[in-house]
């Protein structure tokens, strides 16, 4: 069985030791380095053409990287500073913001699922989310820090949708109106929040992609002016 180590502090990366014949699938573009003895190829992840098409319609890449030990090691990281979240699936499934997917064991299946119109629009990611199900470990990348909240029956939370990383697929999600006219006119977070109902687990990231971009804009503007 592959040995996974989450390393680093504020900018984490995933170090994986692979024995002979052991393999993992990883999102393309996330590989930092690998042992020369590790074989690498682009694949649809074991599901054929249909699996690749399903990945593509979520906005992810058509192919994933198949990394197979000879033996050897590989090192993988996300595209921005943040934390890596390990989720162990035991026959269950989770819905994931597709750009958060980092790596998985070959016993996990990558699928897609349609989410509610309002929820998908709020998240800025479209209507389809990645559905990861089966048995094995999944690794996601969260911009900023990562939180895991477990909701019991009847419990719910409202969250700015850009902060939603993943949730158990059996949970109910939708949108909820917040405040009145004043909130609509002056609220920076907008009028609607994602509403998630238990029981189940929900994983959040403390920094949304929009916040990261907005935070960088002043610095980018200064670079342009000084060039």
Q: Which tens digits make up the pLDDT trace of 147-174?
A: 999 999 999 999 887 889 999 999 988 8
pLDDT at 183 over 60: no
Give the C-alpha separation, 98 to 165, whole Å.
9
Describe the strand order of the beta sheet including 156-159 as a list of residue ranges: 156-159, 192-197, 172-177
- All domains of the chain, ordered by start, with CATH? 3-226 (3.60.160.10)
pTM of the model: 0.82
Q: Is 90 helix (H, G, I), strand (E, B) or coil?
A: strand
pLDDT in tens, 25-84: 998 889 999 999 999 988 766 555 556 566 656 666 667 889 999 899 999 999 888 999
Q: Which two three-digit tokens encode residue 140?
A: 């996601």
More confident residue, 186 or 151: 151
pLDDT in tens, 120-133: 445 444 457 888 99
| Cα-based angle 16, 85, 213 (whole degrees, multiple of 5) | 110
Q: Which two three-digit tokens encode residue 218?
A: 């002043």
């Amino acid at each position: 069985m592959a040995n996974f180590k989450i390393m680093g502090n504020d900018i984490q990366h995933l170090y994986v030791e692979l024995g002979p014949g052991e393999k993992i699938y990883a999102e393309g573009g996330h590989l930092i380095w690998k042992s020369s003895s590790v074989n690498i190829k682009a694949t649809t992840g074991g599901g054929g053409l249909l699996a690749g098409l399903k990945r593509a319609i979520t906005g992810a890449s058509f192919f994933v990287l198949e990394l197979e030990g000879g033996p050897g090691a590989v090192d993988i990281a996300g595209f921005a500073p943040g934390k890596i979240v390990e989720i162990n699936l035991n026959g269950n499934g989770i819905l994931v913001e597709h750009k958060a997917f980092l790596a998985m064991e070959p016993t996990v299946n990558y699928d897609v699922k349609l989410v509610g119109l309002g929820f998908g629009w709020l998240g800025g990611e479209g209507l389809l989310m990645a559905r990861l199900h089966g048995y094995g470990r999944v690794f996601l990348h969260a911009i900023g820090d990562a939180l895991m909240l477990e909701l019991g029956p009847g419990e719910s939370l409202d969250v700015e949708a850009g902060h939603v990383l993943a949730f158990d697929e059996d949970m109910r999600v939708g949108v909820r109106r917040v405040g009145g006219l004043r909130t609509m006119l002056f609220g920076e977070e907008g009028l609607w929040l994602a509403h998630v109902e238990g029981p189940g687990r929900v994983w959040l990231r403390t920094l949304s992609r929009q916040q990261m971009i907005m935070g960088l804009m002043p610095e980018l503007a200064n670079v342009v002016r000084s060039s």
